[in-house]
Structure 1
C-alpha cells in the first residue's frame, strides 16, 4: 500500500475556475473544493511558467526533475503529485506536456514560498512553532493508526458486497441528537416510556426544520452519514428505533422510516464497480476499527475518578484559563500545585497519565474544542480523548519499525502548507484598494459588472450515459420530472431536494453555460458529461435576463474585482521574484520522458 502524503495545499486562491466542471459526482463539499483548488493551482501555475529557468544541459542529480533553492523535486515526488492532481480533477484532464509542467511549477512555487518564509522567519514565530507541534502530533497519530490499526484490517468480498448494497439502497430516517451519553440515555428512556420523536424533537433541536419534523433527516445512502450512524441504520427495519449510537459529534437515537432498494443488482455492475467499492469498504472498515480501538483502550483504563472530579472543579473555577491560547507556552496555564502534577488520572498496561500530562495534552487540544466542555460529561469525553492520544503517541514513538525519515518528511511537507497559508495572508495585507480605483474600474468596464442571466434550475444526475439519454428523451416527450428523478436520479441528496439547485448566474455553469443561454423556462438541457460515470440533465424552472447595474449596486462586486486583480498582480510579481531569487530550474527533457501508471 502506498504511503500517504501529508500535504495541505488549499491556500487563499480567490480565483474562480469553473470551465472544467459544473457539479461533481456524489462527493462532499471538501472533495468539490479540492477539485476547484487543484484546477486553480494549476491555472495559476501556468501563468508563471516563463519564470522557471530552462537550460540546454541537465544539471540535476539522478532522479531529480527540478530544483528551487535548497529543494530538489524528485521524479517520484512529481509523479505522485501528478496522480493526485489527476484524481482531484475527477480524472477529466489530459496529462499533456503543458499540464505536467503546470503541476510541476505549482510545486516549485510552493517551495519558493517556503524558502521566502524561512528567510522572513515566519517558521520561527510562536504561532508557527505551535502549529508545527500540532502537525507533528497529527502525523504521528496517523502513523499509529496505520501501524496498529489499519494494517490489521482485512477487507473481504462480503464487505464489498455490503457497500454495493448500500450504494443501491436509499434510507430515510429520523434521529434525536444528544451531546453526551447521559443525555442520550435520558431521551432513550423517555422513548421507552411512551414519548415520541415528534414530542421530543422540539426540545432537542434548535434547527426549526428538525424540531418540527421529529428529527427527520430525509433520504440518504452510502457514505452520506457518519459511519457509525450508517452501520446502525442499514442494520434496521422500518419502524425500528435504535439505542443511542456514538458518532463523531455526539449520540444519535435513530428511527428508520423508509427503505428503497434498486430493483435488481447485477453481478456485471458489481464487477464493474468492484475496485471503487473496495476502496470505500477499506476506508469504512479502517474508520470502524479506529473507533473500536478508542473504545477498547479507554474502557480498559483504570480511571482515578476522585482525581478527575477535583480537576473538573479546578477547570470550572478557571474556565477562561482552560479555554485560553498562548502559543508562547508549552502547557495549559491552570493553577496546579507542583505536588499535584504527578497525580495519576488514568493507567493502562504500564502507561500512566498524570495531571502534568493533562496540561500538555489540553494545550494541544484546540481552544474551540476545549470550549465545548460546558459540563462534566463533555469534559470527561474530552479527557478520554486526550488520554487515548497520549497513549497512542507513546506507543508509536517507541515503535521499532517506524520509518522516522518518512514521518519527518510528512511533518515538514504539512508544515510547508502552513507557511504557504502565511504567505497568502502576507499578500492579502499588501493589497490596497482606494475609491478612485474602484470608480475607474467601473467606468472603464461597466458591461463587466452587469447582472448576468440567471437560471433557476433543477438537476437530474446519472452514472450511465445511455440512461441519461433515454430519460432526457422521455422528459422532452412529457414524462414527469419528479417521477423520473425518483426512479433514475443518482445522488440521494438531489432526490431529497427534488433536484433543485437554485437560481444561479449562467456563468456558474462553466463549460455548459453557453448551451443554457437560450433554454427557456420549462425546457430541458442535456445530457452533459461532467466527469467519468457522471451525466447531468437540467430542467430550467425560470429565467432572469441580464441587466446593467448602477455603480452603487455594483460597488461591492467592483471592489472585489479590483482587489483580486491587484492581488493577483502582486502575487505573480512576488512569485516571479522568488523563482529568480532561488534559481528555480526544470529539466524539461527529463520531465517529458517520465513514464508512470495512473
Structure 2
C-alpha cells in the first residue's frame, strides 16, 4: 500500500511571466527557491489520482501556480505570527506523531491483512448483485428486541415503521430502503442482508448507528459474470475486503500491544483533575490540586495529575475542547497512554526515521502552515464598515435571533400509557398535575412539565412539528429517547433581526469567509513583486507523468 498524503489545493491564481532559461530538472524558480520536476510530478500525480481528473495542460498550470504561491507565502512574507503561535507548534507536533502512527498501522495492520481467493470470488458476486430491503431501526438492543417480538406476533413492517420513524419517507413506506449494492451500506448491515434469502427477516443486527431488523425484498444479479471480469477486478476486490477487515484488524492489534488488565484508573483523582480543568484554562494551571494524585497506572508506571496535564496541554485545541466530562477525560487519559505505547513500538522499528514518513510529515506541516496562513491573511484584512453593513442587510437571515418555543411535557415509558395520559388531558385533567405524578423526567416534572423557552432547533426532527402547534394544542405520543412524550404548546417567539452593532464581529467573519478567495488573491498580487519568478514552460508542457 502506497503511503500518501495530499497537499491541499491552496488557490488558483493566474499570472503572466516571461519565460527564462532555467535548469532542465526545474519547472520553476521563485527567487532562489526551485520547484523541481520530481516535486511537481509527485504533487501533480497525487492530485490527478485524488481528483480522478485526466492530465491536461491547464491543470498542470494550476498546480504549478499553487506551488509558486505557496513559496511566495512561505519565503517572501512575514510569518513570525505563525511560527511563534503555540497552537500551530502543537498541531505540527501532533501531526508528526499521527504520521508515524499511521505508518505503524499501515505496516502492522493493513499490510498483514489478507483476502483469500474464496473471499474475493464471494465479493465479486456480491458487487454484481443489487438487493432491495426494508428495515426497522432502534437505538438500543432492548428496543430492537421489542420490535422483533412484535414482528413475531404478526405485526407488519409497515405498521411498526409508522410508529418508530420520524423520517416521513421511511415512516410511510414501511422502512423501505430501495436497491443497494455491496459497499453502499454499513458493513454489518450488508453482511447480514447479503446472507439472507428474499422474504427472510433478520434478528436485530448491531450497526455503527444502532440496531436494524432487515427484511430482504428482492435480489438482482447481473446475468453474466465471466472469469475474465473476475481476474480484472481482483486488485479492487482485494482492496475492498482488506478495508472492510481494517477495523477488526486494528482492534486485534491494539489488544495485542495494550493489555487492559494492566491499566488502572483512579476515578477520584480523575474527577479531581477534571474539576481543575473546569475551573481554569489548561494553560493557567501551573499547580493543579490533583498534581501529585495518581490518575492512572499502566504496566507499573504511574501517571500523576501533573503528568496527565502536561500531556493534555500538548494536544491541539480542537481535541482538548472535547474534554467536556469526566468520562471524556478518562478516555483521553487511556488514549494518551495507548498512543505512548504505540509510538515506542514505531520508534523501536525505526518507522519515525523512514524517508517516506519524514516526507509525509513535511507535507502535513506545509498543510498546517497554509491553513494558519490563510487565517492570518483573513484576520489582517481590513473591511470598511459600509461594505460590512451592506453584507449584513443582504444576508439578514444569518443575523437573526433563533426561534424559541415553550413546551409542557409528560414523558412515560410506554406508548400505551402515553396515549392514556393524552386521553385524560383531552378529557379535562390538569396537564401539570399529571406531569408531576407520572413524568419520568424528574427535573421537568417538578416544574409541572414546563420546559421554559428553548431554541426550537434543539428539538431536532420535531422542530417543525412543535413550531406549527397552536397555543394550548397537545400532540403525541412521540418517541423520545427511551420513552414516549405528550407535549403542549405554551408559547413561541419568532426570530427577528439582531441589531448590526451587536453582531458586527460575526458579520465581518462571515464576510471574510465568503470572500476568502478574492482576499487571498489580492494578498498574493501584493507579494508577487517581491520575487523574480521564472517558469520552464517547455518542461511543464512536455514531461511524461508516467516517465
Task: Give the TM-score normalised by structure 2.
Answer: 0.61
Matching residue of 1:54: 19
Matching residue of 1:426: 376
Contact 1:68–1:579 (CA<8 Å) still a contact in 2? no
Matching residue of 2:252: 292
Which blocks of at least 5 consecutive residues in structure 1 are unaligned? 12-40, 178-183, 441-558
Contact 2:33–2:71 (CA<8 Å) still a contact in 1? yes
Does 1:143 pair with 2:119?
Answer: no
**Aligned-pair CA distance for 1:421:** 2.1
Listed one character per residue, the Cα deviations across residues 523-578 of structure 1 (whole Å, up to 9, x for unaligned) are xxxxxxxxxxxxxxxxxxxxxxxxxxxxxxxxxxxx99997997655533432443
Matching residue of 2:203: 241
Matching residue of 2:66: 106
Does 1:281 pair with 2:238?
Answer: no
Alignment root-mean-square deviation, CA: 4.7
Does 1:571 pair with 2:520?
Answer: yes
Cα distance change on mapping 1:263 and 1:213 into 2, 3 Å: same
- 2:363 counterpart (379, 388, 413): 413
CA distance in 1, matches of 2:357, 2:287: 32
Contact 1:233–1:254 (CA<8 Å) still a contact in 2? no
Cα distance change on mapping 1:336 and 1:209 into 2, 3 Å: farther
CA distance in 2, matches of 1:304, 1:199: 48
Contact 1:174–1:217 (CA<8 Å) still a contact in 2? no
CA distance in 2, matches of 1:360, 1:195: 54
Contact 1:346–1:354 (CA<8 Å) still a contact in 2? no
CA distance in 1, matches of 2:272, 2:510: 52
Pairing 1:52-451 to 2, within 5 Å after superposition: 54-56=19-21, 58=22, 60=23, 63-68=25-30, 71-91=33-53, 93=54, 95-116=55-76, 119-167=79-127, 168-170=129-131, 171-177=133-139, 184=140, 216=175, 218-219=177-178, 220-227=180-187, 230-231=190-191, 234-235=194-195, 238-242=200-204, 244-245=206-207, 247=208, 252-258=210-216, 260-264=218-222, 266-267=225-226, 269-271=229-231, 273-298=233-258, 300-305=259-264, 307-315=265-273, 317-318=275-276, 320=278, 335=288, 337-341=290-294, 344-347=296-299, 358-363=308-313, 381-400=331-350, 402-429=352-379, 430=381, 432=383, 435=386
**Aligned-pair CA distance for 1:145:** 0.7
- SS at 1:223's partner residue? coil
Listed one character per residue, the Cα deviations across residues 503-533 of structure 1 (whole Å, up to 9, x for unaligned) are xxxxxxxxxxxxxxxxxxxxxxxxxxxxxxx
CA distance in 2, matches of 1:242, 1:360: 44
Cα distance change on mapping 1:106 and 1:281 into 2, 3 Å: farther
CA distance in 2, matches of 1:380, 1:594: 54
Aligned residue pairs: how many? 420
Matching residue of 2:536: 587
Matching residue of 1:503: none
Task: Give the TM-score normalised by structure 1.
Answer: 0.57
**Aligned-pair CA distance for 1:153:** 2.0
- SS at 1:262's partner residue? strand
**Aligned-pair CA distance for 1:146:** 1.6
Larger RCO: Structure 1 or Structure 2 (Cα < 8 Å, ≥ 6 residues apart)? 1
Cα distance change on mapping 1:370 and 1:572 into 2, 3 Å: closer
**Aligned-pair CA distance for 1:125:** 0.8
Cα distance change on mapping 1:419 and 1:117 into 2, 3 Å: farther
Which blocks of at least 5 consecutive residues in structure 2 are unaligned? 392-507
Contact 1:176–1:252 (CA<8 Å) still a contact in 2? yes
- SS at 2:182's partner residue? coil
Matching residue of 1:516: none
Greater shift, 131-140 or 167-176, is seen at 167-176
CA distance in 2, matches of 1:88, 1:574: 28
- SS at 1:408's partner residue? helix
**Aligned-pair CA distance for 1:70:** 6.5
CA distance in 2, matches of 1:562, 1:310: 47
